Amino acid sequence: MRSPDNSTSGNVPLWIIQVLVAIVFLATGGMKLVFSSAALAAQSPVPLPILRILGVCEVLGALGLVLPGLFKVRRGLTPIAAAGLFTVASGATGATLAMGQSAMAILPAVLGVLAAIIAAGRRAWLAAEVEPSSVQNAPPRDEVRHAHVA
């Protein structure tokens, strides 16, 4: 019998969402890293160092959505990456709305919702990384012994 996180009924649509969201964040984050300072300043009032940091977060988050599941290594990083991208998308939505560009806020809002769906859909991967049996069977911590100075 298959475990819930390996079932094919919800796995394929979730993988499609993961790949699409990763492509968008890889593109937007990559642009923040390779575009010139002048080009970025023309697009956004956000300071250049902040945009570069956001670009790094977006690229790493995009890789975190796909690579752990693809290579089946540290898959618990995928829901963490999705939660981080949800945070980035929420900030982008708020900033875009604050600049009075309601129509432009739709894309980051949709990306945020999709990132939240990924985080919720892959939470079993995170739970599998921290198995309760391994925590319960851990050896007790050594007591700290203090030497008395006479």
Does residue 73 form part of some domain? yes
Does residue 51 form part of some domain? yes
Cβ burial, residue 76 (10 Å; 0-12/13-18/19+): middle
Does residue 58 form part of some domain? yes
Q: What is the pTM of this model?
A: 0.79
**In total, how many domains does the chain have?**
1
**pLDDT tens, position by position, 3-48:** 445 555 568 999 999 999 999 999 999 999 999 999 999 988 899 9
pLDDT of residue 113 exceeding 50, the answer is yes
Does residue 149 form part of some domain? no
- How far does Cα 126 stand from its chain's mean position? 13
Instruction: Output the six-digit token pair for 9.
Output: 């009924």
User: Where does residue 5 fall: left (phi above 0), alpha (psi -120 to 50 degrees), or beta otherwise?
Assistant: alpha
**What percent of the chain is predicted at pLDDT more than 90?**
72
Q: How far apart are CA 37 and CA 51, in angstroms?
A: 10
Does residue 25 form part of some domain? yes
Q: How far apart are CA 68 and CA 90, in angstroms?
A: 24
Cβ burial, residue 19 (10 Å; 0-12/13-18/19+): middle
Does residue 104 form part of some domain? yes
Alpha-carbon separation of residue 133 from 1, 8, 125, 128 (angstroms): 21, 27, 16, 11
Range of the domain at 108: 11-130
Does residue 98 form part of some domain? yes
